[in-house]
Each structure stands twice: as structure tokens, then as C-alpha cells.
Amino acid sequence: MKKYDIAAYIWPSYTGHEKRSRIFWPNGEGEWQSVRLARPKFEGHQLPRIPTLGYKDEAEPETMEEQIELASSHGVNVFIYDWYWYDRRPFLECCLDDGFLKAKNRDKMKFYLMWANHDANYTWDKRISEIQDTPVWLGSVDRVQFDIVCDRVIEKYFSQPNYYRIDGRPVFAVYDIDNLINGLGGIDQTKAALESFREKAEKAGCGGLHLQLILWGERVHNLSGVDGEHLYSSEIAKILGFDSTTNYQYCHFVNIDRDYNEVQADVLGFWEQFASLGVKYFPHVSLGWDNNPRFYSFRGGIMKNNTPENVEKAFRQAKAFADAHGVDLITVNSWNEWTEMSYLLPDNVYGTGYLDAIKRVFGE
């Protein structure tokens, strides 16, 4: 049977180990605080969602050992950790450093980093999430900070024996290309910075670097440092030399306020579009979308009928797409996005339904 890498994103906020996170979640348990407070906003709204494994600290090795066993036994063999750098220092590294990397069974899972270089705002603070667009920290960095980031991830993470590689090169994904370009001062400066990153990885004995860009659909970018120049994401990926692309969430490129099957029908067209852009594309499957757990008031835009049965159909389509396009990595949103209602971990509604769907489609 052909082997597929099933890579699920991890939102590393379910811990109290990170002291700076107390400004958002003062109870000292990370975003579990918001998950516990979630309540239905309309008749039939399935909240709260209760984790079958409990509200456990994911920066504890024992917690991640349990999750690694669950993931690996159902066909999920890669975790993509959201990784942050705010105010000249890392943020929310604890779940990776103290939990996953200290788990006794970590060798059963690969991992890689997605630099979540978006601005941090008050979306994470349920008390004042109505002013969510107010920035707390900026995700953009200048060249000095960029080089510090590169040195850190090369030394601390690329050297890990279970860091995920493609063609022998460690994979590093970038979430917000606009923020990257704006912070570095333009396309030319960004290209030079990424080339320097590759050189650093090569000199460090990593075998090079596989850069992955997170696509948000074919939106137009007005770029800092390039007056009047507008480029599409596909053009940027090629110009900057990214090795591959994928997505983070369906809501970034398709109308999700519909039935899951309708959404997925549109997603199939986007997969083909993304694959035709001239840079290798790895198909992405999202499990749902509903970020009402982060707000006291009702938030519109909810994916409906995203049952394990319907999501299984999406996984089968992703497998067929991967076979047709000669790729073997499929990204999934996500392992644990409880406050966006898109997670593989078992809960009180579907149990292990989503994980069972992966196991049926991709085998043990």
C-alpha cells in the first residue's frame, strides 16, 4: 500500500506554561479557558464541545504521549506546529519543547514548523474579543530579527531526529507572506533573506531547506517597497523560490457558511487551480469552521453538516488528488483547534469519528 504523510496542524495554546499567554487567558490553562466557557448561540448549536481525553496541559510529556499514540494508530504521522515570534522573542513554544519533544514515544511522529507570522490581536481574549482587530504584537520582522529566527529554528528544531523532511530537506512553512514581505522591505529583500536562510541551513548540515508557502487563495498583494506593483500569491511563490504550497483553512479561500459537501465541491476546483500555479501543491482538508467559542456574541460563518462521514469523502478526494498529481503529503486543519471547531481529537459529539475516517481512507 502506498504511504501517505497525513500532517495535522497544532495550535499550541492549551497550556499555562507560557507566562505571556496570561494576558489572553488569565486562568493559567491557556485557551482551555475559552473552550470551557463556550455556550450554544442558537437552537441546535452543538456547544460546548468537551474533549474526551480531558482538558489536559499539552506542554506535559504524558499528555502528548497519549495524543501521539492516538494519532499514530489512526494514520496521522506528522504534526505541524504553529510557531510564533513576537516582540523579538518566541511565543507558545512550550507545547512543542516541553510536551512533544520530551514525550517518550516522539519517534512515532514527525513534526515541522509553520511560522504563524500574522499579527496577534485580541481574538484570543474572550473578554474583549469584540475588538479583535486591535493589535497586541506585530508578526512582521526586519532582517535582523529574521536572521535570529532562522538561526533559532535551524539550531533548535531542524537538528531534531524526527523533524519532517522532503527529499532530505527540513520543511519550514510561512503563513503570512504579506507580513514577511512588508517587514523585510519588499520582494527583492525577501528573496535575499530566504536565500540566506537556505544557505544557513546548508552550512549547518541540514541538507538544504524546503520552503512551503501557505496559500490564501489567489488574492492580490500590494507590496511594501514596490510602489504600485501588485502580485498574486502564485507569482510570489515562484519569484521567492518556495518549493511547495498548501493551505491552512478552507475559510481562507472559499465561502464556508454552507453545507460541508457544497464547500468541498468548490474546494476540489481550488485544488486544481493551486496545482496549476507552477509550484508543487499539497492538498489540504479542513474539518469545519465555527469560531463562536472565542466570542460571547454570535459570530456568523459556520460550516454545517461536517460529519465524519462527509469529511471522509473529502479525505478520499484528497487521496485521489494526491495520486493524480504525484504527491504524498496531505495537510489537515487540525489536530486541536477547539475554538475554531476544526479538530481531530475525540469529543462528546463525534468521538473518534474523524480519526476513524483517516484510518479507513489511508490504512494503518
Residue 164 has phi, psi (to 5 degrees) of -75, 135
Confidence at residue 225, expressed as pLDDT on a 0 to 100 scale: 47
Q: Are 14 and 30 in contact (CB under 8 A)?
A: yes
Any bridge partners for residue 337, and if so which? Answer: 342
Distance in angstroms (rounded) separating the CA atoms of residues 340 and 352: 18
Report how many domains make up the chain.
1
Q: What is the pLDDT of residues 231-253, one digit of tens each?
A: 556 678 999 999 999 999 999 99
Phi and psi, residue 186, nearest 5°: 140, 175
Rounded to a whole number of angstroms, the distance between the first and last alpha carbons of the chain is 10
Q: Are 33 and 46 in contact (CB under 8 A)?
A: no
Containing domain of residue 142, as a range?
5-362
Cell of 139: 508578526
pLDDT, residue 236, reads: 87
pLDDT at residue 226 in the model = 46
Q: What percent of the chain shows pLDDT beyond 90?
A: 91
pLDDT confidence of residue 219:
57
What is the overall mean pLDDT for the chain?
Answer: 94
CA distance 99 to 67: 10
Query: What is the predicted pLDDT for the residue at 2?
Result: 74
Give Cβ neighbours of residue 230 (< 8 Å, ≥ 6 apart). Answer: 220, 221, 222, 223
Tens place of pLDDT per residue across the chain (364 aa): 579 999 999 999 999 999 999 999 999 999 999 999 999 999 999 999 999 999 999 999 999 999 999 999 999 999 999 999 999 999 999 999 999 999 999 999 999 999 999 999 999 999 999 988 889 999 999 999 999 999 999 999 999 999 999 999 999 999 999 999 999 999 999 999 999 999 999 999 999 999 999 998 765 555 554 444 555 566 789 999 999 999 999 999 999 999 999 999 999 999 999 999 899 999 999 999 999 999 999 999 999 999 999 999 999 999 999 999 999 999 999 999 999 999 999 999 999 999 999 999 998 5
- Indicate the residue type of 93: E
CATH number of the domain enclosing 202: 3.20.20.80
CA dist 315 and 187 (Å) reads 36
Q: Are 330 and 318 in contact (CB under 8 A)?
A: yes
Give the pLDDT of residue 80: 99
Q: For residue 132, what pLDDT is reported? A: 83
pTM given for the model: 0.96
pLDDT of residue 233: 64
Q: What is the pLDDT of residue 207?
A: 95
